[in-house]
Amino acid sequence: MSTEARGCITIRNAAVVFDAEGGGIEAVRGVSMDVEPGQFVSLIGPSGCGKSTLLNMVAGFVHPSDGKVLVDGEPIRGPGSDRGVVFQQYSLFPWLSVRKNVEFGLKMRGVSAADREPAARTLLGLAGLLAFENHYPDQLSGGMKQRVGIVRALATNPQVLLMDEPFGALDSQTRVVMQEILTNMWQQFRISVLFITHDIEEAIFLSDKIYVMTARPGRIKAEITVPLARPRTAEMTSSLPFMDMVHRLKALIREESLAAMGTELREGGLTGFSMPVGPEGVSNVL
């Protein structure tokens, strides 16, 4: 493990248009973003605004229709082991034990058969999973499966880790523990992370910087630096600067979520919906 921070993501004026019946779908337009080596950057925005599209572009699964996407100055030509990806759905091999799942990542990286087992055990130890090395994925809780997924993504020794709502399927207590584990691992590996979440508190707690996207076609609405010191602690989440950021980000997202839901909501507000309702509430309408 090197002590130099790694992984610089540069996105310049990127646009993505998907082919669709009746014309193209413009998913993102004119997006420029920077993730510095070792930085933790989150992407938030209303559903369908193009967050996954952007992340998939960096992963090499989606090609930009316009603009540039570079990792460490090199244009992305497709998926590669320099970029680890973790999705919300657990993507472990169910027929392999926890350790063999991690060893798979090491094998992809060309680690010799003899070195794989000790390396996998070290990685699992960092995620508190050593006691489960011989378990199979369906014997694990959701949080544990996702931890194995992160460890497996890290096993290829990537420059950057791309995470698309990795904790979206977990309950809120498990999420908090996962956030702390991820922060610890990120500090040990010193790689950059691009992280998508719908959870504003999660984005603030984890990130150095947050990009807020507009409704589709997704553009960058705001770039916000998180002014909290590291290491982050649970107490910080009730501090004034933290609460201020939550309010600010909620207001930005709300505007865009209303825009994404269409003009009816925007014009009527959330109480009106332009539906006539008498003093008895909806009972006289239905």
Ligand X SMILES: Nc1ncnc2c1ncn2[C@@H]1O[C@H](COP(=O)(O)OP(=O)(O)OP(=O)(O)O)[C@@H](O)[C@H]1O
- Which residues contact residue 263 at a Cβ distance below 8 angstroms, ignoring those fewer than 6 apart? none
Could you tell me which stretch among 49-57, 71-79, 104-112, 133-141 binds ligand X (CB under 6 A)? 49-57
* φ, ψ dihedrals at 272, nearest 5°: -80, -60
Could you tell me which stretch among 51-59, 226-234, 245-253, 271-279 binds Mg ion (CB under 5 A)? 51-59
53 binds, among Mg ion, ligand X, none (CB under 5 to 8 A by kind): ligand X
Query: Which C-beta is closer to ligand X: that of 38 or that of 45?
Result: 45
Query: Which C-beta is closer to Mg ion: that of 9 or that of 102?
Result: 9
Assess 53 for contact with ligand X (CB under 6 A): yes
Query: Which C-beta is closer to ligand X: that of 24 or that of 128?
Result: 24
Assess 146 for contact with Mg ion (CB under 5 A): no
Could you tell me which stretch among 30-38, 46-54, 173-181, 274-282 binds ligand X (CB under 6 A)? 46-54
The CB-of-218 to ligand X minimum distance in angstroms stands at 7
The CB-of-51 to Mg ion minimum distance in angstroms stands at 5
Residue 62 three-state SS: coil
The CB-of-142 to ligand X minimum distance in angstroms stands at 18
CA atoms within 13 Å, Cβ hemisphere of 250: 8
List the end-to-end C-alpha distance of the chain, in Å, as a whole number: 65
Could you tell me which stretch among 50-58, 78-86, 127-135, 224-232 binds ligand X (CB under 6 A)? 50-58
Phi-psi sector, 229: left (phi>0), alpha (psi -120 to 50), beta: beta
Beta strand ranges found along the chain (DSSP E): 9-18, 25-35, 40-44, 66-71, 74-75, 83-86, 160-164, 192-196, 209-213, 220-225
Number of residues that bind Mg ion (CB under 5 A): 1
The CB-of-253 to ligand X minimum distance in angstroms stands at 11
Residue from 10, 52, 97, 159 binding Mg ion (CB under 5 A): 52
Q: Which two tokens stand for residue 65?
A: 């229709």
What sign results for the dihedral spanned by CA atoms 103, 107, 113, 119? Answer: negative
Residue from 216, 226, 245, 252 binding ligand X (CB under 6 A): 216
Q: Which two tokens stand for residue 131?
A: 């006691």
How many other C-beta atoms can be found within 10 angstroms of the C-beta atom of residue 110?
Answer: 8
Instruction: Please tell me the distance from the alpha carbon of residue 27 to that of residue 100, in angstroms, as a whole number.
Output: 38
Contact positions vs Mg ion (CB under 5 A): 52
Contact positions vs ligand X (CB under 6 A): 18, 20, 25, 27, 45, 47-53, 216
